Structure 1
Amino acid sequence: MNPPEVIGIDLGGTAIKLGRFSIDGHLLEDQQLQTPQPATPGAVCVALVEAIEALDPDRRASIVGIGLPGPMDVEARVARVCINLPGWEEVPLADWLEPRLQRRVTLANDGNCALVGEAWKGAAKGYSDVVMLTLGTGVGGGVMLFGQLFTGHNGAAAEPGLIGLDPEGPPCNSGNRGSLEQFASISALRRLWDGDPVELAALAANGDAEAQAVWSRYGSTLGVGISSLVYMFTPELVLVGGGISGAATHFLPSVRKEVAQRVQAMSRQGLRIDVCALGNGAGRLGAARLAIERLT
């Protein structure tokens, strides 16, 4: 008899990343597809069923973990809201998928999944108190305290990208204004520099002073938000991931400088601020890990 396997999925607004894993976290096979547009619940459900059946036609995996951009209910079966996906309010995705897949399903916030993945096999391994930010289309993240995910009394915590920085700042899909997401996402970066972030990173790497100044400004603002999170949670480690983190070498010095200036020494004692180790694979790995913990 073959050892049990698990499927982990990272569902985003533009791409769905799937992985079939051994029970000890070894990636056996992966797949990526474009998220249906518009990404309505029904269209995504159909796409997930087809992708999972293609990834595991022999049905070696009996459990599935799915990370989504928003909070789940306490039972981890209903997507309460996915801010950047149309029509995602109180979607019972696990109930929809289980009879179609004949597999058990659990849901989690995608930032929490990424943090769990990094804690299992990546940069957060061995740490107990960690704050993570995923910098991309939006700004997600998660918080780990005493080695356990902090999810709050109703499962909706933590959303570090939605903390407020500027009460008169740009409106956020969450209903907030001037949230950290509005200053640290890809669209926020494009407000500072009208172009592709990859190109901006390449220019900075080649010594372009204007590009370096943009990254420094971006890092300083991000550092303001991280300072508030450090005061709240006094973590050992702050991790940044997501697509923008590929340019971390250009903005992390400004982040660290800002935190050092704004946070009193006792609250940042021993603090490390670093980049994630697993890249875009952290979310699906963490989703798989949560499925193992919850469903086996």
Structure 2
Amino acid sequence: MASTTTRAVGVDIGGTGIKGALVDISTGELLSDRVKVATPEGAKPDDVLAAVKTVLERLEVTDADVPLGVAFPAIVKRGRTLSAANVSDRWIDFEAEQFFEEGLGREIHFANDADVAGVAEVRFGAARDVDGLVILTTLGTGIGSAMIHNGVLIPNSELGHLDRAGHKRDAEAWAAYSAMEREELTWDKWAGRLQWYYSHLEFLFSPDLFIVGGGVSKHADKFLPLLDLKTPIVPATHRNNAGIIGAAALSIG
């Protein structure tokens, strides 16, 4: 039987911050203030679990009757994390969903962070009713990606880890927002790196739409107009809340 609940909690675990909120899953709107805590140094499983507990306590939604979705920066298959981007290597080949369910004492839905952001944009945002191939990228500590074809998610695309021929650093190490901050790049200089990245994605996939998410999407006017692409490129409707909203939506299917 389909769930009749209209409220769920979304928690988005990132390389630098863990944030969560209560979400109206019929509209994609936040029903609470967003709570954010720092990702523990080293981002080991026990420490991340403790931080997630803190988020839920501050949201006052520790009740297991409220569905919970958790987004995580890794390849996720059947609840197991198969990679570790900007978190401890202990997450590699780790039964993460089971770990969180046992630690929180409740069922959860666990998925890749960029994928859930893509789900939020398909259901409630810039990818809604868009035909063809949509590629969402989240520009933050790394580069996450979600590929959506005619409204259907193709999970675990990991397009932030594309190799750069002749270079030691992959795409996200060179072009993520963290690289701009770390190297104190101007918007123009950073846009030059993004130009390479999105042009490469165009060549590989011929998408119908690019969507740019992550916290930096609130400054989209400073860098998107500097890009010269054949594919339309727009900021995510839900910006840095997309992971929360998508995780909450996926918690009930």
Output the TM-score relative to the length of structure 2. 0.86
- 1:54 shift after superposition: 4.2
Task: Name the counterpart of 1:6.
Answer: 8
- 2:23 alignment partner, one of 13, 21, 24: 21
- 1:132 shift after superposition: 1.2
Equivalent-residue separation in structure 2 for 1:228 and 1:82 (angstroms): 24
Deviations 1:224-265 (A, max 9, x none): 22122123332221011223333322222232x2x34xxxxx
Task: Name the counterpart of 2:93.
Answer: 90
What secondary structure, in the 3-state scheme, does the structure 1 residue paired with 2:193 have? helix
- 1:288 shift after superposition: 1.1
Equivalent-residue separation in structure 1 for 2:154 and 2:42 (angstroms): 31
- 1:193 shift after superposition: 3.2
Equivalent-residue separation in structure 2 for 1:125 and 1:148 (angstroms): 11
CA contact (8 A) 2:16 2:141 kept: no
CA contact (8 A) 1:94 1:107 kept: yes
Equivalent-residue separation in structure 2 for 1:246 and 1:21 (angstroms): 21
Instruction: Give the direction of change, closer, same or farther, for the CA distance of 1:99–1:149 in structure 2 (3 Å limit).
Output: same
Equivalent-residue separation in structure 2 for 1:273 and 1:5 (angstroms): 31
Check if 1:291 corresponds to 2:251: yes
- 1:193 alignment partner, one of 180, 184, 190: 184
Q: What's the RMSD between the two structures over aligned residues?
A: 2.3
The runs of 4+ residues in structure 1 deviating greater than 4 Å are none
Task: Name the counterpart of 1:68.
Answer: 72
Task: Name the counterpart of 2:44.
Answer: 40
Task: Name the counterpart of 1:274.
Answer: 234
Check if 1:249 corresponds to 2:221: yes
CA contact (8 A) 2:128 2:151 kept: no
Instruction: Name the larger-Rg structure.
Output: 1
What secondary structure, in the 3-state scheme, does the structure 1 residue paired with 2:93 have? strand
Deviations 1:134-161 (A, max 9, x none): 111111121111211112xxxxx31111
CA contact (8 A) 2:80 2:94 kept: yes
Equivalent-residue separation in structure 1 for 2:53 and 2:151 (angstroms): 33
Q: Output the amino acid matched with 2:15.
A: G
- 1:42 shift after superposition: 0.8
Task: Name the counterpart of 1:118.
Answer: 121
CA contact (8 A) 1:6 1:62 kept: yes
CA contact (8 A) 1:113 1:290 kept: yes
What secondary structure, in the 3-state scheme, does the structure 2 residue paired with 1:13 have? coil
Equivalent-residue separation in structure 1 for 2:103 and 2:181 (angstroms): 41
**Which deviates more from structure 2 when the two are superposed, residues 111-120 or residues 229-238?**
229-238
- 1:99 shift after superposition: 3.4
Equivalent-residue separation in structure 2 for 1:109 and 1:91 (angstroms): 14
What secondary structure, in the 3-state scheme, does the structure 2 residue paired with 1:10 have? strand
- 1:7 shift after superposition: 1.3
What secondary structure, in the 3-state scheme, does the structure 2 residue paired with 1:108 have? strand
- 1:61 shift after superposition: 4.0
CA contact (8 A) 1:4 1:60 kept: no
Check if 1:161 corresponds to 2:164: no
- 1:119 shift after superposition: 1.7
CA contact (8 A) 2:49 2:103 kept: no
Q: Output the amino acid matched with 1:219.
A: A
CA contact (8 A) 1:5 1:60 kept: no
Deviations 1:37-79 (A, max 9, x none): 2321011112223432442447274422111111012x1x122
Equivalent-residue separation in structure 1 for 2:115 and 2:61 (angstroms): 28
5+ residue gaps, structure 1, are 152-156, 169-176, 195-213, 261-270
What secondary structure, in the 3-state scheme, does the structure 2 residue paired with 1:131 have? strand
Q: Output the amino acid matched with 2:166.
A: P
